[in-house]
Structure 1
């Protein structure tokens, strides 16, 4: 099969190459997916560049955890009903050497989910990490009917889905975005109010929106950048659900947060327990089938240009970056 790979960490154009690898075969409990499109996430480029860890976890890595395609074969113990089904992948390269930036991948049956016929494989490759992260962030908030939720990065890959899912759960969403265009998009995704963080004071705006009552929960993409405001933004007993941070150390306003009984909850989507992940898929599949969710705009690159795709993610592309493994 054709696949992209790297054997050392560094700049995309330096370490990534495309060549021929042995075709995988599904072992017991696994399915073999012929990948049409592979999604590039920030975690993929951080891992390849050495930001996450400078050491190679495996001698040779085929990157990317997210992808979509068709199941071609199954291993022992897996129903043959899977064969021919369109699926999206979960944790394709998490703690494994070979991910979705290839024509084929063999994965445990629990790491694929049905891709409805109304969705393209480009969209399917956009789901994985972003959609599951957004679902769990909203799920972790508990019952949201009538509550107010602040979503940082409300139009990002995760934030866009979180905005929609929170609104669908009955929350009144305040979206935070960084430009007039993104503010308009956040409104289209279901945010009742939108704050342009580059033009407005977030704390003052939230107090005005809530008549001084603050918010019940915050869904956070960059804790290091925003933690200093938590004590001023949250109601008594409020929750911050944290799935990302732009820095490894976070400073919080201890006095305001201890007096306010603020709860900080951290999670990483890769480690979602299997039962929780199954619940997520059971909830999300009907939404996907009914076309309820709006999906991010995509930019598609051929596998031969995977280095350019990684560079687009690193430059902060305003689109979901996808690699077509057939080209």
Structure 2
């Protein structure tokens, strides 16, 4: 099979386009013939910095967690009827050497989630980590629902920081589907258009000197839940706009490594801070996220493309290095790798 691999940390030049044997699924696992692979920030970071201490967990790694494809083989303990099933794949490269930047990948059966009829592999490859992170953030609010769905967030004001980003776009779509009033912060008119296309009711320029008053004008009683991409940078703004019993759900690491906030104010308002790392979430929460995200996608609530606020950028497999560079450079939208276009 054609695959992208790396055997040392470094820049995108460590990625190699190679031929490898087709892997075989073990007990509880499935093999997926990958059609489209999705690229996340975690993919280039893992390639550049490795695991803790800078080492790789395996002598050779096939990158990428997310993808869309078809199950073509199953291991012991997996229902054989799953062969031929269209699926969206996520967390493929977490503690495993076989990511989705290859013609075939091996994942636990639960990480190959049935893709609803009528949805493209582009949608499937664009769900994964970003949608699971968004889902986890949206369930972090105090006295909030136990799962997402129509009406689940009715009466809740949600602020999505970085509404034109990948997680931000998914958070807007999932929150809107669940009935929330959604405000998104952005840094340009172009990004405002994308956040509005995703379903935000309003956008605010977070670089403006009046960002706090602009948000307060839209949410006089304060914001109930903030889906935060950069808590260390935005903490002062967040503290000014949170309603009593409000929550900051932070999934990003932008800015410094230390978060400082006024504890007296936080205690006085009974505020909550929830930090989100998808890979280390409990299994039950991951399963719940998979189910809710699939339901939202089936209902047409999660879509991709510029008209949905998430422009797509495509690369063939042998140009995966360029795909990584685009994500690292902060390209707006979702970067996809077409596995079928694997021959240079």
The alignment's TM-score, normalised by the length of structure 1, stands at 0.94
Contact map agreement 1:179 1:198 (CA 8 A) in 2:
no
Please give the per-residue CA displacement for 1:24-46, whole angstroms capped at 9, x wherever unaligned: 10111111101111111001011
* Counterpart Cα distance in 1 of 2:330 and 2:50: 16
Alignment of 1:313 onto 2:327? yes
User: Within 5 A, what are the aligned runs for 1:169-248?
Assistant: 169-199=178-208, 201-211=210-220, 213-246=221-254, 247-248=256-257
Could you say what the CA RMSD is over the residues aligned between the two structures, in angstroms?
A: 1.6
Question: Match of 2:120?
Answer: 120
The alignment's TM-score, normalised by the length of structure 2, stands at 0.90
* Counterpart Cα distance in 2 of 1:200 and 1:322: 36
Question: Match of 1:150?
Answer: 159
1:265, distance to aligned residue in structure 2 (A): 0.6
1:60, distance to aligned residue in structure 2 (A): 1.2
Point out where structure 2 has 5 or more consecutive residues left out of the alignment: 146-152, 305-309
* Counterpart Cα distance in 2 of 1:67 and 1:254: 42
* Counterpart Cα distance in 1 of 2:77 and 2:57: 30
Aligned length in residues: 325
Please give the per-residue CA displacement for 1:42-91, whole angstroms capped at 9, x wherever unaligned: 01011111176422222211111001111001111111111001111121
SS of 2:130's partner is helix
Contact map agreement 1:152 1:176 (CA 8 A) in 2:
yes
* Counterpart Cα distance in 1 of 2:269 and 2:296: 36
Contact map agreement 1:225 1:245 (CA 8 A) in 2:
no
User: Within 5 A, what are the aligned runs for 1:17-36?
Assistant: 17-36=16-35
Contact map agreement 2:27 2:77 (CA 8 A) in 1:
yes
Point out where structure 1 has 5 or more consecutive residues left out of the alignment: none
* Counterpart Cα distance in 1 of 2:63 and 2:236: 35
Contact map agreement 1:46 1:52 (CA 8 A) in 2:
no
Contact map agreement 1:231 1:260 (CA 8 A) in 2:
no
1:126, distance to aligned residue in structure 2 (A): 0.9
Question: Match of 1:272?
Answer: 281
Question: Match of 2:150?
Answer: none
